Copies of this chain bind each other. A is one copy, B any other.
Amino acid sequence: MQRIRISDARHHAGESVEVAGWLYNLRRSGKICFPLVRDGSGIMQCVAVKASLDETLFESLRSLTQESSLVIRGKLRAEERAPGGVEMDVESAEILQRVPETDPYPITPKDHGIDFLMDHRHLWLRSKRQHAILRVRHEVIKAIRDFFDSNGFLNVDTPIFTPAACEGTTTLFEVDYFEDEKVYLTQSGQLYNEANVMAHGKVYCFGPTFRAEKSKTRRHLTEFWMVEPEMAYATLEDVKQVAEQMVVFIVGRVLENRREELKVLERDVSKLESIRAPFHRMSYDDAVKILQSRGSEIQWGGDFGGTDETILTQEMDRPVMVDRFPATFKAFYFQPDEARHDVVLGVDVLAPEGYGEIIGGGQRIHDLDLLLRRIDEHHLPREAFNWYIDLRKFGSVPHAGFGMGVERFTAWMCGLEHIREAIAFPRMLYRTRP
């Protein structure tokens, strides 16, 4: 008998097939029971009728416990009311492992606290919402890669072990390398991207990044995935354009391929359907004025807090790009604005509905003398940056790029309150298990 995946069941109506999965739920009456079986690709409703089955088998199905594993066989019948459009009339089944009633599956349809669920993350992943979220995440990742691959960018991975800090040293995780050497986990692949882009013109890195921030907010993980494109012969304006095109592309793919999942998540898709170019654009100066007028205590020169980002974006129908930040709180490598030396050519893209920052980027300094000055002003050790300085000595060109966090983007797509559900095994200040 052909084994199929539930996601393909619709194409097999009228056929007898087998499905290998787990018992998701079960309704029953005396002479009939309805096992809901999941196999990872979907959920299928089955109908087991006592009169047409071996008695032991019927009783075994009828009393089956949640998450027991089974292979179930039968004829598929088109049924528009069933999830997936087909139902299985059970002919036989084989139970691989019956979860004992004395030690039942710990996650039941009733409500559990978040700590309980996080402690059982390895099982919680099987529930409908978590299943849907990780499928959206996959779509986001695939869309990101397809976007860059089809636009002439080369994927060049940057190292995780780095000898120096990219943006400050206080939020670095330190690793014991061999023989008393210390290395740090990357916070961003950008500096290395800048070397790679001079070899390949357009590149992106895409991997995990690490920040030892003691932030316990709904927007922070200590380990998160980030894509970082970089372009040679490019400016701040190019960054804004590519970021905008990329976001529109990803949202389009999610809407195209993950409607079912968004429905499970009760996501208001009209909010995503309104994401199109052009995004809102404003300067940091104007953003500060708007924030002040709405009651924020931010002063010119200060970075946005999470609340500021929420205030700025909660009424927005599409993302907003804020640019030209004070040089004072941005990293040493930002190119200053020629027209106004107190601001740099950086941009943040904030997602609407209060989701806040998903992208940060800008144009990098390409002039050797200016870079050296900035390294000194930031009290960074020149020696550690010799290779980076080389990039300004040997064929320097204006270049620019950005970074986008996968979990923040996924949380926005899914309408999640907290970023911790946007990755399979989140790592946070007080969470390193399971």
- Evaluate contact between A397 and B183: CB separation under 8 angstroms: no
Does A192 lie at the interface of the complex (its beta carbon under 8 Å from any beta carbon of B)? yes
- Evaluate contact between A199 and B161: CB separation under 8 angstroms: no
Among the stretches A77-85, A123-131, A240-248, the one at the interface with B is A123-131
A105 to B396, CA, bound (A): 12
Among the stretches A172-180, A277-285, A357-365, the one at the interface with B is A172-180
Q: Which residues 198-216 of A sit at the B interface, judged by CB distance below 8 A?
A: 198-202, 207-208, 210, 212, 214
- Evaluate contact between B183 and A177: CB separation under 8 angstroms: no
Q: Which residues of B contact A337 (CB under 8 A)?
A: none
- Evaluate contact between A122 and B195: CB separation under 8 angstroms: yes
Q: Which residues of B contact A366 (CB under 8 A)?
A: 97
Q: Which residues 80-111 of A sit at the B interface, judged by CB distance below 8 A?
A: 96-97, 99, 103, 105
A33 to chain B, nearest CB (A): 18
Interface of A is mostly: mixed
- Evaluate contact between B201 and A40: CB separation under 8 angstroms: yes
Does A141 lie at the interface of the complex (its beta carbon under 8 Å from any beta carbon of B)? yes
- Evaluate contact between A396 and B97: CB separation under 8 angstroms: yes
- Evaluate contact between B390 and A161: CB separation under 8 angstroms: no
A122 to B162, CA, bound (A): 14
- B interface footprint on A386-405 (CB within 8 Å = 1, 0 otherwise): 11101111111100000000
A414 to B207, CA, bound (A): 24
A: number of interface residues (CB 8 Å) = 93
Among the stretches A47-55, A320-328, A426-434, the one at the interface with B is A426-434
- B interface footprint on A151-190 (CB within 8 Å = 1, 0 otherwise): 0101111111111000000000111111001010100000
Q: Which residues of B contact A76 (CB under 8 A)?
A: none
- Evaluate contact between A183 and B395: CB separation under 8 angstroms: no
Beyond A181-B432, A200-B134, whether A68 also contacts B223 by CB under 8 A is no
Q: Which residues of B contact A202 (CB under 8 A)?
A: 40
Q: Which residues of B contact A227 (CB under 8 A)?
A: none
A residues apposed to B, CB below 8 Å: 5, 7, 20-23, 39-41, 67-69, 71, 96-97, 99, 103, 105, 120-123, 125-126, 130-131, 134-135, 137-138, 141-142, 145, 149, 152, 154-163, 173-178, 181, 183, 185, 192, 195-202, 207-208, 210, 212, 214, 222-223, 225, 232-233, 366, 386-388, 390-397, 423-425, 427, 429, 432-434
A to B CB contacts below 8 Å, 18 in the list: A20-B233, A22-B395, A40-B197, A40-B199, A40-B200, A40-B201, A40-B232, A67-B395, A105-B394, A123-B195, A125-B199, A134-B156, A159-B223, A161-B427, A162-B432, A173-B177, A181-B432, A207-B208
